[in-house]
Amino acid sequence: MHHLPPLARFGGLLATDLRDVTSDPSALETQGFWAVVADFEGRLVCARFGDVRTEPVPPPAPGGWRGPTAGEWTSSLDRAAYTAGVRTVRRRIAAGEVYQANLCRVLSAPLPDPAGADVDALTALLALGNPAPYAGTVRLPGHGVEVATASPELFLRRTGRTVESGPIKGTGRAPEDLLEKDHAENVMIVDLVRNDLGRVCATGSVTVPALCAVEPHPGLVHLVSTVRGELAPGAGWPELLAATFPPGSVTGAPKSSALRVIEELETVPRGPYCGGIGWVDADRGTGELAVGIRTFWIDRGAAGAVLRFGTGAGITWGSDPEREWDETELKAARLLAVASGVQQTTGVQQTMGRATR
């Protein structure tokens, strides 16, 4: 696979000519254009590219991506384990340990042609089948990073000293599916994001320009809020990431308690899923990192290559375990169909194969 050159693609930007790779966030304050992938567990990869140009995502090439067959996906938590996890989170909420926690599972399937598997070819398919505002590819085979994202969620946008986050909480097929629970959850996370940004922003500068706006995406709708602030003097990317990572919308509130619950209930690392994926232009003082949801990544080992994809839901006291499982299915169904090269089927189960059983 190493014959494919490193590249990064974000929307209409294509970055090639890899110059430098580091795990030091202060590099993002120096110079040049950086692709950034931060795993949920904290591993950071920053890759500086020498050539950045505007180039639209190419249409999918015939045979460019060979995905797993639809029935081969397995889930780190099956339905019984996931719904049991939801019940555990509700007990923790009743005990006052946490207000809400995001419970996730990672789906995996072997790739039929590991040597020919290119995440950028998958990105081309996703652009067609599930267009997303923060879509992108980061392909660094020599550094164990091969990610294709169709993320709808803004983690951090920076323009000079102004920073903005766009947490999503609340998902349904249509606006009328969004419950009171979804609004309550969104407001709770907005509060957490305000606190996180408040740790690195000038006192009094943090505002909420939009609260619980309904945003349509392919096959579903989300409730999205916007939180904005002005960085305090001396604060840059290292301080901003330290204050806000991992993203509040995919952890829960309070964040430290939610992380403890996640650590206990989830059986595998999330990796780039629920981390941060995006770019920083240090020369212009701009950057945009998405929350790594609706994201595929390739794990390579001696035995071949596995494609992974994460899905999850925010659990509150008002959560119904079966309904939360169904939400994780809804979020995954369309994208797994795209990655497996099959059209969207009527029932999620047909797409998901073993993952639902």
pLDDT of residue 108: 97
Residues assigned a catalytic role: 153, 169
The partner residues of 107 in beta bridges, in order of sequence, read 75, 309
pLDDT of residue 218: 86
Between strands 276-281 and 33-38, the pairing is antiparallel
Residues of the chain with pLDDT under 70: 1-2, 342-357
The partner residues of 22 in beta bridges, in order of sequence, read 46
DSSP designation for 202? P
Tokens 């392909």: give the residue: 139
Tokens of 160: 């000079």
Distance of alpha carbon 248 from alpha carbon 188, whole angstroms: 10
The answer to whether the beta carbons of residues 165 and 210 sit under 8 Å apart is no
Tokens 């650590």: give the residue: 263
Q: Is the dihedral of CA 280, 309, 111, 131 positive or negative?
A: negative
Give the CA count within 13 Å in the CB-facing half-sphere of 155: 32
Distance of alpha carbon 117 from alpha carbon 109, whole angstroms: 13
Domain spanning 7-72+107-242+269-311+326-348: CATH superfamily:
Anthranilate synthase (3.60.120.10)
The answer to whether the beta carbons of residues 128 and 150 sit under 8 Å apart is no
**pLDDT tens-digit readout, 233-286:** 999 999 999 999 999 999 999 999 999 999 999 999 999 999 999 999 999 999
Tokens 């500086």: give the residue: 48
